[in-house]
Amino acid sequence: MDVELPLAFEIGSYAVLILIIIADLVHAYRRPHIPSTKESGLWVAFYVGLALVFAVIMFFVGGAEHAGQFVAGWLTEYSLSIDNLFVFVIIMARFSVPRKYQQEVLMVGIILALIFRGIFIVAGAAIIEQFSAVFYLFGLFLIYTAINQAFTSHEDEEETENRLIAFLRKRIAITDEYDGAKVRTVVDGKKIFTPILIVFIAIGTTDIVFALDSIPAIFGITQSPFIVFAANIFALMGLRQLYFLLGDLIDKLVYLKYGIAFILAFIGVKLFFHALHENELPFINGGEHVDWAPEINTWTSLAVIIASMAIATIASLLKIRRDDRRASVESGGGTDAR
């Protein structure tokens, strides 16, 4: 039987998580370097292990349902955060950010993501409390986002950012060269901004877009603001190291976006069913609850999320292997015997 999560547990969890984030932030700024594959792998494993340990603790403190909601929420947010990395890769490449300073840039992006998601979590919880029919809007929004995710490439999103960059360059003095990871530098005795400013703005705007997607998605799994925020923090932990671990592989996981789109569509449908089940709108079933609307439980959601990401990742890896073999044959001058 599940019980309410104790307030002391929630407060203690927040305190520990904030300390971990601060420690990671200090480490990134005091030791800027390009992490090795081994180092990145160990850190990613550490943060994943930390999330699983937290889930076990939550199981004993609050019961199986809370633990299941956290794991499902964490995996959903983790998959969306990996999708966020695709955009980070594009931004880093477009602005030729020195690899040595990409750790610091990524850390700023992650902190901004936490801030924006925190704001949307508070706003989302308040809206749900006052207006339960918002689940209809959340559901439709996620279905629309899923379609957009499946049929729009990240490169298509560059048009808006390019207009923003052109706008900034016309109004703000910005150098063409980087000065380490400094936002401002001195040129001919004058303080002017470096391209890092544009990088931070580009990353910040993408963080807002992804926060708009991710918060309705996780509210489709749990309505507990604590679990929502905890899942987001754990999903963003280790994202910086995952960026360096995956490296060029991130751009090659071509089917991952379809797996993420399916998850968003599934949660969108789940939210719509939930809204029907809790219906209070007078023009739907006379304002009465729609009894036939199924309630998709946490464990079904968890199974769908894991299966979607596994299938998308495996399919992408198989495609990479097939493409590498084809490239090897072509570079070796081989021909098809058929």
Residue 220 within any structural domain of the chain: yes
Give the pLDDT score at 338. Answer: 41
- Expressed as residue numbers, the domain containing 43 is 7-153+210-330
DSSP string, 11-66: HHHHHHHHHHHHHHHHHHHHS-----HHHHHHHHHHHHHHHHHHHHHHHHHH-HHH
Tell me the whole-structure pTM to 2 decimals. Answer: 0.79
Give the pLDDT score at 337. Answer: 43
Number of domains in the chain: 1
Mean pLDDT of successive 10-residue segments in the chain (338 residues)? 76 90 76 75 90 94 90 88 77 78 80 86 83 82 84 60 66 75 77 82 80 82 88 85 74 81 89 78 70 79 89 89 83 54
Are 222 and 135 spatial neighbours (Cβ–Cβ below 8 Å)? Answer: no
Angle at 28 between CA 24 and CA 31, to 5 degrees: 130
Give the pLDDT score at 315. Answer: 92
Residue 56 within any structural domain of the chain: yes
Residue 173 within any structural domain of the chain: no
Give the pLDDT score at 54. Answer: 95
Structure tokens at 125: 């919880």
Residue 189 within any structural domain of the chain: no
Give the pLDDT score at 57. Answer: 94
Residue 250 within any structural domain of the chain: yes
Residue 201 within any structural domain of the chain: no
Residue 338 within any structural domain of the chain: no
Residue 105 within any structural domain of the chain: yes
